[in-house]
Structure 1
Amino acid sequence: MTEVFYQNINTSEYLNIESKPVHIKERLDIEIIDNSFLPGAKEDDWFAHSALPALKIIEKERPGKIRSFLSIGSGPGLDVLASAEVFGSSKLTLTDLQGSVVKSAIQNIKSNLLEPEKIEVNGYSGDLFEPLKKANGNPRFDLIYENLPNVPIPEDEDINKSRSSTHYIEKRSEKIPEEVKAALLDLHYLAIQQAPEFLEENGSLISLISGVIPIDTITSIEKYVDGVKIEVLFYNWNIQTSFYSVVNKYATQEEQGYGPFIFYRENDLKKAFEGISDEESGKKAREIEKSLEDKRLTATEALKLLKQGENIGYTITIIKTSINV
């Protein structure tokens, strides 16, 4: 039997806007089925905390130009609804691994738009861009967003059960560069590799990547994918809460030779990011990372401190991939 959760979300609070929303309802009624990723409180919700500020930066750079938006691995569709408000897009599309999640997300989107009859909403189920390759007309988008998982699912877990869809199946047929694989960036690499086929001429792919991985390792993907340019758009930090606690999983991966995976004490992160605005964070990302160099903790060290009750955090890197013409 499918387990269903419902969340009622104050739109202005979630989107951090002072005015009433103009494209989506003031309160969002969101259905979350048991295979879908479960959003957390605002500070724990990666989209609201980090992706949303990045999308607002895009809108400032290209006001009114993001007419089509695609989310890869959307879950309940909150990211798509937020983009509808930020960009006023007329074409909204999402994918997810399971068809039941896509069906639920489509319903969430249509039922929370103020004028759904004026918006084209599409959903596809399948792996990465594969379902779009099968769609008629090879759809292209002004902006694609992905927050794909880094951590492989344990072999004894079923990707189709519970909320294990927040992990990924490690065994893939595609060839992944060793440097990328060691950093657990497999799915982000594949998304960057495949995205240009689905981008409009001036379109871009936004990737939200946990900053437990060094910035230079993340941006090194550029050298393995022809014809793309990668830049850090937004840089942020957050606390590792118990709900999202995956430190032990990263520690296990370190034991198996992956990494390095980097964590920090909360106070060190606060000091490093003090006075940095959203707009300048991407440009100053490497400078911030450099200032934290002697404060680094391995996942194993972070796990030990976390168990002792110390607040441990990590950085979040959002990169923008565009077609290099």
Structure 2
Amino acid sequence: MPLTSATGVRDGHPTIEVDAARYLGLASKPEHVASRLAITYTDRSFVPLPDELAADWVATVAVPAFKLIRQRQGVQQAFASIGTGVGLDALAAIETLGATRIGITDVHEEVVSTAVTNITRNLRDPFGIALDAGAGDLLSPLHPVALRYDLIYENLPNIQIDDAERIAAERTSSGHFSPRTEPVPDILQMNFLALHYLALQQAPHFLKPGGAVLSMLGGRVPLSLFQEIATLAGLKSEIYTYGWKIQAMPEEIIRGHAERQRDGYGPFHFYLAARLADAFDGVDLESSGARALEIEDSIASDRLAPSEAYEAWKRGEVIGHTFAALRSWVG
């Protein structure tokens, strides 16, 4: 069940209101996006969680990384998002990265068209942003634009399922994906990292010189595998930020990992949220990437197998997982 309820209906779809300053962690009202964001969502995208920020990917994971990139690498004028969902990642990039050229993709046309509406109607100056959007696989919808980007952001689904009916019925653009035909190294395939690898393979054709990809990765597998994705894709990389969040949609996600682990994938792991809160107490964003392996080692004995995490969740425990923002570039 979603943690946030719709506050209205727009164009036949539920719409929620998001306090932009709170959601983006701003000290004052936003400069480029509306103070109150009207965000419409479809059945094919994750519902934003403005009232449960600790479970929301954009607010908890992407936005802090965007701010750090702005601080270290400067303005990212051209920004692309693979699998944009409702478009909040693009709005965050406009506000925090200073982006003025936006490219967005997702696999469903209705998701893309809704994201375009969400982005354009929530800008203070709609004419100040150039927006390219397309439905399709990974970066391919942006091929006709022939534009290169300073930063490509991806937060892609992890769980591959073969059931066509389930693919059709569920929020598959955000949670699951169909089997791929491209060759993917077995170690990445077995650890649910296939789409991230394929995105990194495509990325060099879309990056400006000095540009980078920012991959959002749920830390349900060892950190060492994350940098292996970039290495196998022919890129250099660094763990840019490391942290933790509450597991959103726990029944679906934890149960899905448990099912696939029984099929021989993984192994995967989760944690009690309280243990993660203790482990990350006092860890600042700027040093979190450099300290990632040290922190991972410190909580290794607290890992829960997906089946254990699922049973703990059913008992009322709050379950979390670590995450890493992986920054990759052409070496």
Look up the match of 2:80.
70
**Matching residue's letter, 1:49:** T
- Aligned equivalents of 2:290, 2:196: Cα separation in 1: 21
Shift of 1:311: 2.5
Look up the match of 1:191.
199
Does residue 211 in structure 1 map to residue 219 in structure 2? Answer: yes
Q: Does structure 1 conserve the Cα–Cα contact (< 8 Å) formed by 2:56 and 2:248?
A: no
Look up the match of 1:295.
302
Give identity over the alignment, percent: 38
RMSD: 1.7
CA distance 1:154–1:246, shift in 2 (3 Å): farther
Counterpart selection for 2:36 from 18, 27, 51 = 27
| TM-score calculated relative to the size of structure 1 | 0.93
Q: Does structure 2 conserve the Cα–Cα contact (< 8 Å) formed by 1:265 and 1:311?
A: yes
Q: Does structure 2 conserve the Cα–Cα contact (< 8 Å) formed by 1:157 and 1:164?
A: no
Listed as ranges, the matches of 1:1-325 within 5 Å are 4-40=13-49, 41-64=52-75, 66-133=76-143, 135-136=144-145, 138-153=146-161, 155-226=163-234, 228-242=235-249, 245-324=252-331
**Matching residue's letter, 2:328:** T
Encode CA deviations 1:13-66: one digit per residue, 9 max, x unaligned. Answer: 1101111111111111112123232212322211101111011110000223x1
Which 4+ stretches in 1 moved above 4 angstroms?
A: 241-245
Structure 1 window deviating more from structure 2 (305-314 vs 199-208): it is 305-314
Q: Count the aligned residue pairs.
A: 319
Structure 1 unpaired stretches of 5+:
none
Shift of 1:169: 2.9
- Aligned equivalents of 1:22, 1:130: Cα separation in 2: 32
Structure 2 unpaired stretches of 5+:
1-10
Q: Does structure 1 conserve the Cα–Cα contact (< 8 Å) formed by 2:37 and 2:122?
A: yes
- Aligned equivalents of 1:242, 1:174: Cα separation in 2: 29
Q: Does structure 2 conserve the Cα–Cα contact (< 8 Å) formed by 1:240 and 1:313?
A: yes
SS at match of 2:214: strand
Structure 1 window deviating more from structure 2 (294-303 vs 161-170): it is 161-170
Shift of 1:103: 1.2
CA distance 1:144–1:271, shift in 2 (3 Å): same
Structure 1 window deviating more from structure 2 (164-173 vs 72-81): it is 164-173
